[in-house]
Structure 1
Amino acid sequence: MKILDWYILKRYLGTFVTLLLLFIPIGITVNLAEKIDKILANDVPFIEVAEYYLNFTIYFANLLFPLFLFLSVIWFTSKLANNTEIIAFLSSGVSFYRFLRPYLIGATIVCLLALIMGMYLAPSASKGFNEFKYTYLKSGGDNQQETKNVYRQINEDEVIYATNFNPSRQSALNFTLEHFKDNVLEYKISASRLQYNKEDTTYTLTNFNKRLVGARGDSLIHYRKLDTILPFEFDELTPNSYVAETLNFNELNKFIEDEKRRGSGNLNRYLVVAYKRWSTPVSAYILTIIAVAVSAMKRRGGMGINLAIGIAVAFSFVFLDKVLGTIAEQSDFSPLVAVWFPNVSFGILAIYLLYNAKR
């Protein structure tokens, strides 16, 4: 590798790491100032608080690394331009694409690290971060589970439905279970209330009705209250909406397949998480090219103009990414399109800016 490559690559990685080390303590301080009252009120052990902020660091570094990377490239490339170092490089016969090579090498390193972190390290941190938040920092009424019109296919032959689901009390209202054989309904169980008994893993059904479907007519069995065993675990019916963030690559793929089979209402939310684990590292390349194209030119306003343009572009990318992700989670909009559209649109912008910067 040439001297030029080492020089730019060290600045690329060094500035990125420095920016992370500067902003993460600020984020921890702001978060601690906001949450300190609830932490003290709940008498949270110090070791749990320390683990929470370790997970907080990993979680938000993984979440915001494209923004930090973009700003760091804008910063040090603008300094190179203001010191006329870029002019010296290009005047020596180095083409603009050759000048861009160490940036792409640095983006590859960051991309691989982000991919490994997003697939395996960040999910573990997300689990600790969210569990702490919903244990100590959220009010008792807050939950991250479906509570209305819960529908699940629990196996190949049976589906269940409930109009109201209470995770904290482990109960459900207007419960229905339908059993099929070769796509033909064999019997249907209904109850006005379902209560899970954790001690013996049974269920208490109030106003129990079981309709047996026969070729010559149906028969009905009724009990005012019945304790029985049902073929599902209560906690598995409506997993926390953030559960996808806590699963590594293999676990997430299996979880999504299971949720597809069950007819989960949160499936788009889980798919957005899965697609972002691939799209976020790719954004390192796109934002690097945009940052170099914007800041490689020496401007009359100096570094401040480049930073202002860079911040506007970066926050436009983040805004578009968040808005489309939210739309996909809460509607029928394609999660694949929502996740990859920002990369595609800003990739086109990167090509346009790179062409004009080369000229």
Structure 2
Amino acid sequence: MKILDKYLLKTFLITFTTVFVILFFIFILQTVWLFISELAGKDLDLILVIKFLLFSMPRIIPLVLPLSVLLASIMTFGNLAENYEFAAMKSSGISLQRAMRILIIFICVLSLVAFWFANSVIPYAEYKFINFRKNIAQAKPAMAIAEGQFSDVGFYNIKVNKKSGENGNILTGVTIHEKPNNYGENKTVIKAKDGKLISSEKSSILKLELNNGYYYQDVTPKKYEDRSKLPFVKSAFKKHVINIDLSELNKVDTDQESVASTNGMLNVSELRYTLDSLNKNIDNEILSFSENINQRVGITRTMRAVKPEQKKKPLPNNLLSLFKKNKEKLELIKTASSNITSTIYSIDTTQKDLKEKQRDINKHYLALYEKFVIAFACFLMFFIGAPLGAIIRKGGLGLPIVFAVLIFITFHFINTFGKRLSQEGGMTPFMGAWMSSFILSPLAILLTYRATNDNGLINFDAITTPIYNLFQKISKRFLPSQNPQ
């Protein structure tokens, strides 16, 4: 390795390490701020808090790493250009590509490490993080109910607008969904103005005292045509007590692991296997439902296979003509209407279920592609930051930070927008995951080209010269020339 390569690599590594540590510390503080309500005032020992933070750290890497590469590249090459070190290199016959060669090798290695980290470390940390939060909530029932979101506590989903009191046991704006024992739809809803959470370490009963509320329960009519009216039973109460048995929840070991599989906890091979199973399941469900609907409306495979010339008797145009009594006709109409309503209800319900399953499949695809996007993002940010620093010729923490933040916010916004849109089926998960990379890649190519040819960030002459020539032509045409007498 030549002296120049050692110098460039050392300069870049020092800047990259410094920026990475600072940004990582900032994002850790943001994580602590997001989960401060789950940690503060809950009688958790220091070891549990440290474990909580350690398990949450790896999920920050996909944000910190590309931004660190971008900022370090701009600062490093900006300093070299500002101190005329690039001018000395070019006078010695060393081009920008030659100066970037050793750093390109380092970025390639860093991209491979980022992919390995996203494929191995982050899924394991996500697995541990989610289970650790669940185990803490079970060991500390006071933490089981969070503000502003539904929390699963026993056979109830509980949401509160605000928690107060010394241990967060005073609840305001309580909404409770009671889960049925047969895993059906939630038909019971309890809303209360305020309430109180009473728990004791010596008791396995979590007691909820609700004040000034209403009790709602959906009613399912026997007739399908009445279901569209959505009937329900409503009753008011001044005080209502709910006892939740936590005897099973309190038997918790914080080192015990029991997780449901989610897309964030899987590596590439596991995601591909899961996606294959999910796609087969949804295809089989669609086929089974279509056959069921065909049988319900009386269209069987045998009837579909019968050719027109094989039918002995043509069906009448009006089925009501087969019945003579008006009562029989009315019963036929009621039966047909009931069947149509039931079929439409079944189709709508199945459509919603299939849409939710497709959304879950899209999330798994996004989790798969994101592991590769993280690796490519390091490569992309380097080829944006390095030539940009050489063009603006400014180092330090001033102008480089402005450019880095603007570029990274654009990258992150497009990435988030693409993922949200692809989850809802607005585009393919591949395009949603790679949209930000596809949009910013031309910028990286343009900046590298302009930096290689010693062009500025914007060629103002290309803009001002045509405008100046246009005004010259207008002035010559409409303004008479003044000759000296």
Q: Structure 2 length normalisation: TM-score? A: 0.52
* 1:307 partner amino acid: I
- Cα distance in structure 2, aligned partners of 1:302 and 1:20: 15
User: Partner of 1:328 in structure 2?
Assistant: 422
Give the CA deviation at 1:257: 1.7
Cα distance, 1:42–1:343 mapped onto 2, change above 3 Å: same
Give the CA deviation at 1:326: 1.3
Q: How does 1:39-188 map to 2 (within 5 A)?
A: 39-133=39-133, 136=137, 139=145, 142=150, 171-173=182-184
Partner secondary structure for residue 398 of structure 2? helix
User: Partner of 1:249 in structure 2?
Assistant: 268
Q: For residues 165-203 of structure 1, what are the alpha-carbon distances to aligned partners after superposition, in whole Å with 9 as ceiling and x for unaligned?
A: x9976643279xxxxxxxxxxxxxxxx9xxxxxxxxxxx
- Cα distance in structure 1, aligned partners of 2:378 and 2:145: 37
* 1:88 partner amino acid: A
Question: What residue ranges of structure 1 are gaps of 5+ in the alignment?
Answer: 145-165, 176-191, 193-206, 208-238
* 2:55 partner amino acid: N
User: Partner of 1:31 in structure 2?
Assistant: 31
- Cα distance in structure 1, aligned partners of 2:396 and 2:65: 25
- Residue in structure 2 matching 1:311, options 405, 414, 431: 405
Q: CA RMSD in A?
A: 3.1
- Cα distance in structure 2, aligned partners of 1:174 and 1:300: 61
Q: For residues 85-135 of structure 1, what are the alpha-carbon distances to aligned partners after superposition, in whole Å with 9 as ceiling and x for unaligned?
A: 122122210012112212211211210110110110111112222334566
- Cα distance in structure 1, aligned partners of 2:370 and 2:20: 21
Structure number with larger C-alpha Rg:
2
Partner secondary structure for residue 172 of structure 1? coil
- Cα distance in structure 1, aligned partners of 2:407 and 2:82: 21
Partner secondary structure for residue 43 of structure 1? coil
Q: For residues 266-310 of structure 1, what are the alpha-carbon distances to aligned partners after superposition, in whole Å with 9 as ceiling and x for unaligned?
A: 110110110010121012111101101111135489863333223
Q: Structure 1 length normalisation: TM-score? A: 0.68
User: Partner of 2:278 in structure 1?
Assistant: 259
* 2:444 partner amino acid: A
- Cα distance in structure 1, aligned partners of 2:411 and 2:51: 31
Higher strand share: 1
- Cα distance in structure 2, aligned partners of 1:72 and 1:305: 13
* 2:279 partner amino acid: K
* 1:142 partner amino acid: F
Identity %: 23
Partner secondary structure for residue 55 of structure 2? helix
User: Partner of 1:345 in structure 2?
Assistant: 439
- Cα distance in structure 2, aligned partners of 1:91 and 1:171: 79
Tell me if structure 2 keeps the 8 A contact 1:96–1:358.
yes
Partner secondary structure for residue 183 of structure 2? strand
- Cα distance in structure 2, aligned partners of 1:300 and 1:253: 45
1:290 aligned onto 2:290: no
Partner secondary structure for residue 297 of structure 1? helix
Give the CA deviation at 1:11: 2.4
* 2:150 partner amino acid: D
Tell me if structure 2 keeps the 8 A contact 1:62–1:117.
no
Partner secondary structure for residue 173 of structure 1? coil
Tell me if structure 1 keeps the 8 A contact 2:78–2:393.
no
- Cα distance in structure 1, aligned partners of 2:144 and 2:379: 37
Q: For residues 203-251 of structure 1, what are the alpha-carbon distances to aligned partners after superposition, in whole Å with 9 as ceiling and x for unaligned?
A: xxxx9xxxxxxxxxxxxxxxxxxxxxxxxxxxxxxx97x8111112222
User: Partner of 2:163 in structure 1?
Assistant: none
* 1:291 partner amino acid: G
User: Partner of 1:268 in structure 2?
Assistant: 362
Tell me if structure 2 keeps the 8 A contact 1:268–1:335.
yes
* 1:115 partner amino acid: F
Question: What residue ranges of structure 2 are gaps of 5+ in the alignment?
Answer: 138-142, 153-176, 188-219, 221-258, 283-356, 454-485
Cα distance, 1:21–1:97 mapped onto 2, change above 3 Å: same
Cα distance, 1:340–1:55 mapped onto 2, change above 3 Å: same
Tell me if structure 1 keeps the 8 A contact 2:388–2:447.
yes
Partner secondary structure for residue 184 of structure 2? strand
